Amino acid sequence: MQISASSNETMKEVASLLRQAERVLFITGAGISVASGLPTYRGNGGVYAGGVTEDGIPYELALSGQMLETRPEITWRELIRIAQRRSTPVVNAGHRAIASVPGATVLTQNVDGLHRAAGSQDVIEIHGNTGTLLCTGCGHRDTESDWRSLPIPPRCPRCDTVLRPEVVLFGEALPERELDRLDAALARGFDMVFTIGTTSVFPYIAEPVIMASRRGIPTVEINPELTEVSYCVQYRLTGCAADMLPGLIARPDEP
């Protein structure tokens, strides 16, 4: 039976299950970082909501590996526009709450690095991290968290080849190391799964939730909108993760 509410009783029930869980998987998307000043991508008002860039190019083409290889100025122009439209991200209460759960594993689509900054230890960054730029020629890595003032396209200080963000662009394969870590974590198993702030359109994001639901493992979704996994979660909490998570994790035992 699915409980689709955010009542005090529901929150208490989820909090009780979380206190009893020994291995918890938190799957997060852009929604958890909204309170950090970052936009969502596919949700209402998200970066990709209009379907095309300011230049009229479909986002999935402009931000693809193929475009970066053939017309890097187009990809970088859009990456920098996105960076300029957002404030400098900061860790929020949702990130800190997850980091306080002992032994938790975080599978995140986010490339902002905020889970690690909050103190989470076991973080699978399945789409990479924007904090590193990688030379497409010599392989040199450069730490750069603020893209707003970068030239278009930025170039390697060693060989003058175009740099790329160390993230997964559209049409590119996921990093094998992170996939291996995810497979190993799923093989060990979890006794509670949260999906937070993600539309769950990618199979590797939706499947851990669906599998847990089929096995009778408690599943919780925190999202203001319906998603691809809303139909199968046991508890659906509608609201802001940064507001809800601290209460769920810190809630004392109540009769």
**Where exactly are the structural domains of the chain?**
1-37+91-127+174-255, 48-84+132-167
Count other Cβ atoms within 10 Å, centred on residue 77. Answer: 18
Tokens 């970088």 correspond to 76
Question: Could you say which DSSP state residue 59 is in?
Answer: H
164, β-bridge pairs: 134
Same CATH topology for 1-37+91-127+174-255 and 48-84+132-167: the answer is: no
Q: Read off the pLDDT band of 229 (50, 70, 90).
A: very high
- Residue reference for tokens 């170039």: 155
Q: Evaluate if residue 1 carries a pLDDT over 50.
A: no
Is residue 49 pLDDT above 60, yes or no? no
Q: pLDDT digits over 150-175, tens only?
A: 899 999 999 999 999 999 999 999 99
Task: Compute CA distances 103 → 58, 73, 98, 106, 169, whole Å.
Answer: 40, 42, 10, 10, 30
What average pLDDT does the segment 15-19 reach?
Answer: 95
The candidate with the shortest Cα–Cα distance to 224, out of 197, 201, 243, 200, is 197
> What value does the mean pLDDT of the chain take?
89
Indicate whether 148 pLDDT > 90: no
pLDDT at 131: 87
Model confidence at 52, pLDDT cuts 50, 70, 90, reads: confident
Mean local confidence (pLDDT), 175-203? 96
Q: Which residue is associated with the tokens 């049409």? A: 171
Q: Is the pLDDT of residue 209 over 90?
A: yes
Superfamily in which the 1-37+91-127+174-255 domain is placed by CATH: TPP-binding domain (3.40.50.1220)
Q: Given this model, what pLDDT does residue 156 score?
A: 94
Q: Which residue has the tokens 């693809």?
A: 64
Report whether pLDDT(39) > 80.
no
Distance CA 159, CA 213 (A): 50
Task: Choose between 193 and 79: higher pLDDT.
Answer: 193
| Rounded distance between C-alpha atoms, residue 116 and residue 134, angstroms | 20
The predicted-structure confidence for 69-120, as pLDDT tens digits, reads as follows 999 999 999 998 888 776 677 999 999 999 999 989 999 999 999 999 999 9
Reply yes or no on whether 127 is catalytic: yes
The closest alpha carbon to 165, from 125, 203, 205, 199, belongs to 125
Per-residue confidence (pLDDT) for residue 48, from 0 to 100: 56
What does CATH list as the number for 48-84+132-167? 3.30.1600.10
pLDDT confidence tier of residue 255, bands split at 50, 70 and 90: very low
